[in-house]
Chain A
Amino acid sequence: MGGCCCCCSSKETVLSAPPAYYYQYPRASEEHVPLSSHPGAASAFSGRLLVDTNLDTSSPDTYRPPPAPIPFNVTLGTTQTPPAAQEIRSDKNNTSLPSTNSNAIQEPVARDIHGTSAKLEEPKESECKVQTDLELDSAKGSEIELAKSGKPIDLVEEEDACPICLEEYDAENPKLATNCDHHFHLACILEWMERSETCPVCDQDLVFDPPIE
């Protein structure tokens, strides 16, 4: 509800400047109500806010608001997406049912941990998300690779797609694996190695078993 009201006011500001005053002023007054101990200061602040409103109307001239964001409450729904994806996998590979169940159980916990802990681990989680999305897009589940890997994380990582260009691997552009078990196109990783010597996914030093040279 609140979000919708804010979006309406933002659209009004795009249309014309005078309505912007009317729509943004009530918000300012509402925000000052908790500061009942400073009634005089509130009026002064509201005056200055009007000045800021002029400044704000200048930037939205080039800004076209996107559709309203989904509230965070729907986050509960998004947690159901990974199990759905894994159910798709289980439909294709009946033999891998237990491993997919372990995926469903472990991934939400892992995300919570990563969300609250060090930033160094976040790239890994982002990589898992990217590959999960790719899985949804391609709807592919190569049975051979699923059978090879027993670990849930490896299941996600075995998706045939370069994390850098998001394209799949083929004969002309083969997969190139690193010692930290991450894979890229040769061209993609060479271009990245011109800028950094760390793995784009896990930030470890880039080392290849058959060294590139």
Chain B
Amino acid sequence: MANSNLPRRIIKETQRLLSEPAPGISASPSEDNMRYFNVMILGPTQSPYEGGVFKLELFLPEEYPMAAPKVRFLTKIYHPNIDKLGRICLDILKDKWSPALGIRTVLLRYICLSSFTLVDVYLKRPIHFLKKCSKHQSAFQYQPVHGFYKM
């Protein structure tokens, strides 16, 4: 029922996501709700999250593309811009959204590449970062520790 009123832009984006998969990310719509996407992202190479596999969920609100999609990490991750519930602190998902962006751009450029590399700020203080990991790693499914030693 709800899928019958799906805007053509969402249909086009979904088709492109399925026909032209981007490296490092994979997204497929739910069978029940074409606005809900199951996403899987690989940790970028040369980052502390290399080797990790992260599950996310993405939802396109009614106002999309005038409003930003809602994205959340389902895999627990230690990251300065992602809280314990998996919510991502990212300006383009909030006040800096633009309708020229799309699902693919949000996932690949902003979440997968830009957000993950924000950890560089912490990597400039390795001892501090290691202490943070030691303090929090017991609460997270994926600890960015082994990648740390590659620096």
Contact = CB atoms under 8 A, between A and B. Distances in A.
Interface of A: 2-3, 6-7, 10, 24, 31, 34-35, 44-45, 48-49, 52-53, 56, 59-60, 63-75, 78, 115, 119, 122-123, 125-127, 129-130, 133, 136-137, 163-167, 188, 191-192, 195, 198, 200-201, 203
Q: Determine chain B's interface SS by DSSP, over half rule.
A: mixed
Nearest to B95: A196
Contact of A165 (B9, B30, B142): B9
Interface string B51-62: 101010100000
Interface of B: 7-9, 12-13, 16, 20-28, 30-31, 37-42, 44-45, 51, 53, 55, 57, 65-66, 74-76, 91-92, 98-102, 104-105, 109-110, 113-114, 137-143, 145-146, 149
Contact of A126 (B40, B44, B66, B105): B105
B100 to A, nearest CB: 4
Contacts of B40: 7, 65-66, 68-69
Nearest to B31: A64
B99 A192 contact: yes
Residue of B26, B28, B99 with highest tally of chain A CB at under 10 A: B99
A137 B110 CA distance: 24
